[in-house]
Structures are given as C-alpha cells and as structure tokens.
Amino acid sequence: MKTLANIFLGFFIFEGIVAAPTIDTLTYDSDLYGIILGESDNLFDHIENEQSAQAETEVGTILPFVTQDSYSSAPLTEEPEEEASTPKLIDGSSPLGSGVLGPQTHDGLPTCLLCTCLGTTVYCDDHELDAIPPLPKKTTYFYSRYNRIKKINKNDFANLNNLKRIDLTENFISEIDEDAFRRLPQLQELVLRDNRIRQLPELPVTLTFIDISNNRLGRKGIRTEAFKDMIDLQHLYITDNNLDHIPLPLPESLQALHLQNNNIQEMHEDTFCKMKDITYVRRALEDIRLDGNPINLSKTPHAYMCLPRLPIGSLS
C-alpha cells in the first residue's frame, strides 16, 4: 500500500510538472503546489472511493502511462492558464499559522511542505515524525503511517470537523488521550494497527471501520460496551492483542469481526445470538475469525444458530 501511494504521488507530481506553464515554474514554489493541489482534487476523490482492489487494477493502467509520458513529452507544452487560476487549496488558516501550505509545524515547516497535501487529504507517511503535525482545518483524510509517533494528544485532532479517516499504522503509539478522537463528528475510519496501545480511548459513534490489530490491549484495554452505540460499525479488527474476551455487545451493523491470535478461551451462547429468541437472525455478521485462540467452538453449538456462517476457529 505504501508503494501504491508513492506511485500515485509520483504520478501527480509528475503531472503537475508537465502541466506547469513554463520551465521557470519548475522550482518548488507555491504556483506549482497550487497546480498539484488543484489538479489532483478530482483524481484523488476518485481514488478514495475505490476499493483497494480496484485501485490496484488502476495502477496497471497508470504505470505504463507514466513511463511512456516521461520519455515522450520531453519538450514541455504550453498549457492554458486556467489551471493556475483555480487551484482548490486547503484552508490553512489556523491559530498556528496560515498560508496555502497549511499551518506551521514545530520545525517551522508548513505541514503541506513537510507532508503532501492532495485536495483535502494529508499524506505524512514515512517521514520520521514523532508527533502529529498541525493539520489544515478542512483535512478529510489523514495518513501518517510508518512514523515514530508515541502519543496522541487531545488537541492533535481538535476542530477537524471534516475528518473522515485517520490512519496511523505502524508507529510507536502507546498512549492516547481520552479526548483525542471523541469529538470528531464525521470520523468513519480509524486505523491504529501495529502500535503499542494499551487502552482504547472513547471513540465517536460514527465509526464504520476500526482496525486496532497488533497492539497491547490485553484484558482491560477495551472498556465495557465500547462498541455498543456504533450503529454503523461494519468492520472491527482486533487481532493480535492478547484479548481474553469478545467485546460485547456487538452492533447489528457489524459485518466482519476479526479476533484471531488472542487469548479468548470461552464464549457464551448469547455472544452473537439470543437464546431467548430463536427467531432472531444476525444477518450482517458473515465474517468472524477466532482462529489462534484457545477456544473450542464445539462447546457452544447453539451460539452460531442465528449467523449466516460459522465462525472460523478450532472446532475440536
């Protein structure tokens, strides 16, 4: 996925350069940035809406295109002015600074120079960051994978009312302030996998996708009824966490529950179904993974009656 993102970024930046009106603007100035931001808006939204599988097939079509272009279009062609005049820039106005490149980071660099901003998406993957950089107010998607972030503070995402996805895969996060995510009104996808998190903070009920696999939640890392009110939650991935129980209750909307490689030893007949209501059907939940747990699924034969499919796990 990292490579995929790089390929896309490379493509956009290349396109920006080719589309630049004169050779003079090839320097790393705000004109060029404006063109990159403006141009990529639609393309990027497009990518965001594709499933990764589809996105991958697109790499196939884009890749040869890039290589071909980089040889054939050596003399830069003049482009009409319109692109330069209608860039859709991120609103960088914030208490920490302003300008088209977003707020200033602590190193004095605007976030959109340190990272890459495409439309309202901010990419900070693989930048050796040890904290979340200040984000432009209209940020919708934020990626900061493969960094060295240790802590998420309560103000890191404050007032980012458009934020829909946070992806902090593979950092060193061990601590998250209780308020860090709670007040994000549009947050749908939260990816915190491959960190060192011991305690999951309170989460917004708007979430549809949670991946907190490969952390250190253990016995107490998930509060009781943590997911109960998430009426749109579809994917819940908590593999490799040394969990000793299935977090209940599970919302009706849930489609996939991945709990493999934990320490779950038992389940109740009411975990998924309702023993008092034999007509109850939990239609959505088609994908339950319990393999890699010390649990014998054969001991609770009635626990799966309402499910469209049996959970995957040890039956003997």
Ligand X SMILES: *[C@@H]1O[C@H](CO)[C@@H](O)[C@H](O)[C@H]1NC(C)=O
What pairs with residue 104 in β-bridges? 110
| Least distance CB 241 / ligand X (angstroms) | 24
Of 103 and 311, the one with the shorter C-beta distance to ligand X is 311
Of 275 and 315, the one with the shorter C-beta distance to ligand X is 315
Compute the half-sphere exposure of residue 264: CA atoms within 13 Å on the CB side of its CA: 27
Contact by Cβ (8 Å): 261, 239: yes
DSSP class of residue 133 equals P
Number of Cβ atoms within 10 Å of the Cβ of 269: 15
Is residue 196 at the binding interface for ligand X, with CB under 6 A as the rule?
no
C-alpha closest to that of 211 among 259, 268, 263? 259
145 to 164: interface string for ligand X, x by CB under 6 A? --------------------
Of 27 and 316, the one with the shorter C-beta distance to ligand X is 316
Size of the site for ligand X (CB under 6 A): 4
| Least distance CB 316 / ligand X (angstroms) | 5
Cα–chain center distance at 156: 16
| Least distance CB 313 / ligand X (angstroms) | 11
Compute the half-sphere exposure of residue 156: CA atoms within 13 Å on the CB side of its CA: 22
Of 5 and 312, the one with the shorter C-beta distance to ligand X is 312
In the complex, which residue's CB is closest to ligand X?
296
Is residue 49 at the binding interface for ligand X, with CB under 6 A as the rule?
no
Helix or strand or coil: residue 45?
A: helix
**How many whole angstroms separate alpha carbon 257 and alpha carbon 17?**
44
Is residue 234 at the binding interface for ligand X, with CB under 6 A as the rule?
no
**How many whole angstroms separate alpha carbon 246 and alpha carbon 316?**
20
Q: Work out whether strand 116-118 and strand 121-123 pair parallel, antiparallel, or are unpaired.
A: antiparallel
Residues within window 275-314 making contact with ligand X, judged by CB under 6 A: 296, 298-299
| Least distance CB 281 / ligand X (angstroms) | 25
Of 236 and 295, the one with the shorter C-beta distance to ligand X is 295
Is residue 265 at the binding interface for ligand X, with CB under 6 A as the rule?
no
Q: Which residues bind ligand X (CB under 6 A)?
A: 296, 298-299, 316
